[in-house]
Amino acid sequence: MVKQDKVQYRDFPDADGHFGPYGGKFVSETLMSALEELAISYDHLRHDADFIAEFDQDLARYVGRPSPLYFAERWTKSIGGAQIYLKREDLNHTGSHKINNTIGQALLAKYAGKTRVIAETGAGQHGVATATVAARLGMECQVFMGAEDVQRQALNVYRMKLLGADVVPVESGSKTLKDAMNEAMRDWVTNVDSTFYIIGTVAGPHPYPLLVRDFQAIIGREAKWQCLEQTRQMPHALVACVGGGSNAIGLFHPFLSDDNVAMYGVEAAGDGLATGRHAAPLNCGQSGVLHGNRTYLIQDHDGQIMPTHSVSAGLDYPGVGPEHAWLKDLGRVNYVSATDSEALAAFRELTQIEGIMPALESSHALAYAAKLASTMKSDEIVIVNLSGRGDKDIHTVAALDHIEI
């Protein structure tokens, strides 16, 4: 374990996109120049006053930021422990944190003069957020989605179509998020001159893990001042679900140097870590290379990527952002897990006690937060990232209840 007090988190990734041994640029040669251009352009724009002003204004007036930090008082009482605050990313335009990033990347696309955007999506939240910004900027939009996810997220598929996007069901491999990302990469390599690839999470080749983190870090920056304003103190713990890890890094990053703030990234344990049917690479995987970066992966001993399972399509991914891999090794963030059934129980509990229906992805964070809070003192504070709303999951939950709607 590396000594934490020496790490300057803001200095990572390094110029080549590495977080310690993780990250980097593992793509075919055809994409290397596009990535270099993107890195140079982003390096310039991230300090450009006009770009920053436009991004901030879009977040305020189009997304509806700042999103509230809400004290879940009844839920806190029912658990009996630390005070639980919810960072309400579910109240953003389009219903999740994904829009923070698509606003930022669409601006990069606009500044680069691209006329077409593509995206991969699992639960459909990132696809919807991409289709939304594409509609607003009048750009052509194609969204790649695993055929299995197209089935279980029919509502979001239709939303994307209404927004004018072309949704491409991906039939190869396991027909889920990883295969959608493969197909998006194939499209990008073919149309690299006209097309901007809006990656939805903090994975992929450099500079994506950097720029997605920067666009999502608004979550943690707001949560910090909101917590200080409302409670006059810093939070004691942060909890967020981790699939690729964009909502988690968004909440965590502005707090990484605050040593007294504990952090918990909650992976999808599916049927249970011991069953092998899960999506928890940080808990059960090994280091490897997929989708342009080195990170922890769920793979067999021959280096083949293995099928994952989670009730939530958005967490059903065999990899994880490289910065999370690094934070795990550093010991700065604790990576834990919640099963399908724990997440579903939390989904019902929050809906019934607080009148807030969380996304199944966010329900993993809630499930772990409830356990954690019960072990903490009543004057301590836990912030949970409520990364998305659960409307899209009603069909999944109803099917588990054997109800047809």
Partner 1 sequence: MGRINTQLDTLKADGRKALVPYIVCGDPHISITVPMMHALVASGADMIELGVPFSDPMAEGPTIQLAHERALRQGTSLRDTLAVVKEFRQSDNKTPVVLMGYINPIEAMGYQEFSRQAMAAGVDGLLPVDIPPEEAGPLIDALKTADINLIFLLSPTTTIARAEKICRFGNGFLYYVSFKGVTGADRLDIDSVVEKIDQLRTLTSMPLLVGFGIKDGQSAATVSAVADGVVVGSVLVNRVATLYEKSASDEQIIGEVSRIISEMRSAIDER
Phi/psi at 201 (nearest 5 deg)? -135, 180
Cα 272 → chain centroid? 22
Per 3-state DSSP, the chain is made up of helix, strand and coil in percentages (nearest 5) of 50, 20, 30
| Partners of 135 in the β-ladder | none
Residue tagged active-site, from 96, 337, 363, 387: 387
Among 182, 226, 247, 385, binds partner 1 (CB under 8 A): 182
Q: Could you count the other beta carbons within 10 Å of the beta carbon of residue 107?
A: 19
CB of 26 to partner 1, least distance (A): 5
What CA dihedral angle connects 240, 276, 204 and 206, to 10 degrees?
80
What CA dihedral angle connects 54, 55, 61 and 65, to 10 degrees?
-150
Tell me whether residue 3 is one of the annotated catalytic residues: no
Per CB under 8 A, 302 contacts partner 1: yes
Residue tagged active-site, from 98, 110, 224, 392: 98
Per CB under 8 A, 147 contacts partner 1: no
Helices (H) and strands (E) in the chain, counts: 16, 15
Sign of CA dihedral 267, 270, 275, 279: negative
Per CB under 8 A, 155 contacts partner 1: no
How far is residue 282's CA from residue 290's CA, in Å, rounded to a whole number?
Answer: 14
CB of 351 to partner 1, least distance (A): 37
Among 9, 13, 20, 24, binds partner 1 (CB under 8 A): 24
Residue tagged active-site, from 25, 87, 96, 120: 120
Per CB under 8 A, 31 contacts partner 1: yes
Tell me whether residue 404 is one of the annotated catalytic residues: no
Q: Tell which residue, 85, 200, 224, 58, has the closest CA to residue 131.
A: 200
Per CB under 8 A, 32 contacts partner 1: yes
CB of 210 to partner 1, least distance (A): 16
Give the residue with the Cβ less far from partner 1, 31 or 263.
31
Per CB under 8 A, 26 contacts partner 1: yes
AA letter at 232: R
Among 13, 124, 235, 292, binds partner 1 (CB under 8 A): 292
CB of 274 to partner 1, least distance (A): 22
Tell me whether residue 387 is one of the annotated catalytic residues: yes
Report angle CA 263, 268, 274 to the nearest 5 degrees.
110
Stretch that binds partner 1, among 48-56, 108-116, 156-164, 170-178 (CB under 8 A): 170-178
Per CB under 8 A, 291 contacts partner 1: yes
CB of 276 to partner 1, least distance (A): 16
Q: Could you count the other beta carbons within 10 Å of the beta carbon of residue 80?
A: 9
CB of 234 to partner 1, least distance (A): 39
Stretch that binds partner 1, among 70-78, 171-179, 210-218, 323-331 (CB under 8 A): 171-179
CB of 190 to partner 1, least distance (A): 4
Asked if 125 and 94 touch (Cβ cutoff 8 Å), the reply is yes
Among 135, 192, 234, 345, binds partner 1 (CB under 8 A): 192
User: What six digits make up the tokens of 114?
Assistant: 């691209």
Per CB under 8 A, 301 contacts partner 1: yes
Asked if 246 and 272 touch (Cβ cutoff 8 Å), the reply is no
What CA dihedral angle connects 22, 14, 129 and 85, to 10 degrees?
80
User: What six digits make up the tokens of 11?
Assistant: 């200095």
Give the residue with the Cβ less far from partner 1, 125 or 182.
182
* Residues annotated catalytic, as ranges: 98, 120, 387
Give residues in contact with partner 1 (CB under 8 A). 16, 24-34, 172-173, 178-179, 182, 185-186, 189-193, 286-292, 294, 297, 299, 301-306
